[in-house]
Amino acid sequence: MEKLVNPQETIRILQKYNVKFQKKYGQNFLIDGRVLEKIIDAAEIGSDDFVLEIGPGIGTMTQYLAEAAGRVCAVEIDAKLIPILQETLAAYDNVTVLHQDIMKLDLKELAERENGGRPIKVVANLPYYITTPIIMGLFEKDVPLESLTVMVQKEVADRMQVGPGTKDYGALSLAVQYYAKPYIVANVPPNCFIPRPAVGSAVIRLTRYEQPPVAVKDPAFMFRLIRASFNQRRKTLQNGLKNSSELQIPKEAVAAALETMGLPQSVRGEALDLAQFAQLADLLLGGNF
């Protein structure tokens, strides 16, 4: 069959199966071959790779992945799209389609079973409403990952790669940069999709670190600090931590830690980089001022 990247073929398939777009699943189907080629190139997909695709939709990107990768596992939550995928991917014997919720799937076990526990590559056009939980779930559940190359809302991609002092800098920036090196591959306008989304998109590659770029005694505690620091980002770091329901840290302890770090008492969380949050976490946890 003709590739789905051809808009006429996409429309034909959608009409044949009377597809009603599911807003709850963030369904927008890519129809630009140049973008697909950039995704495949950026992900560095080769014939030895096992690729996990999250949300294949009707199989547009899956077709490209199947031609580049050794094996592809496509996980789709919408039962109505499974018969379509069976048709559009019929020519590819290296693709497995799973009708599953990616948030409930044991991806560590999947990687062990399908790829012998070796690092996998994740490629996806992620639903915007659940982008962050999916990405953080992949990192935090110790899934063996080499990289994630994903299409996300442009402002989310921007937040993942920025540093301190910028308006987009926040808890997501720090969380992503603890686990991976972010690189924006391409910006993708709404006219590259059917139906057109209301916002711009971007492809971002997150290359997983073998070891985090900073050492910290308790990463979970550090991330609680980070979340508390940005929950009230216009407040000083001291007040943000004091007001947090997750933490019970006296303001005096924070003041002493900041003094040890050579930071002013008026500093806000948005001014600290990842290494400084790691140092702050270690100081507060150990009481070593």
Using CA atoms, how far apart are residues 163 and 269, in angstroms rounded to an integer?
Answer: 12
Average pLDDT per consecutive 10 residues, the chain (289 residues; last block may be shorter): 87 90 72 95 96 95 97 95 96 97 94 94 89 92 94 95 92 96 96 90 97 95 93 84 83 92 94 97 80
Using CA atoms, how far apart are residues 251 and 216, in angstroms rounded to an integer?
Answer: 22
In this prediction, residue 128 carries a pLDDT of: 80
Within 8 A by CB and 6+ apart from 192, the residues are 30, 31, 32, 35, 201
pTM: 0.92
Q: What are phi and psi of 184, to 5 degrees?
A: -80, 120
Bridge-based pairing of strands 95-99 and 71-76 is parallel
E strand or H helix at 159, and its extent?
helix 154-161
List the domains of the chain with CATH numbers: 7-208 (3.40.50.150), 219-286 (1.10.8.100)
In this prediction, residue 251 carries a pLDDT of: 85
Amino acid at 170: G
The distance in angstroms from the start CA to the end CA of the chain is 67
Strand partners, 98: 75
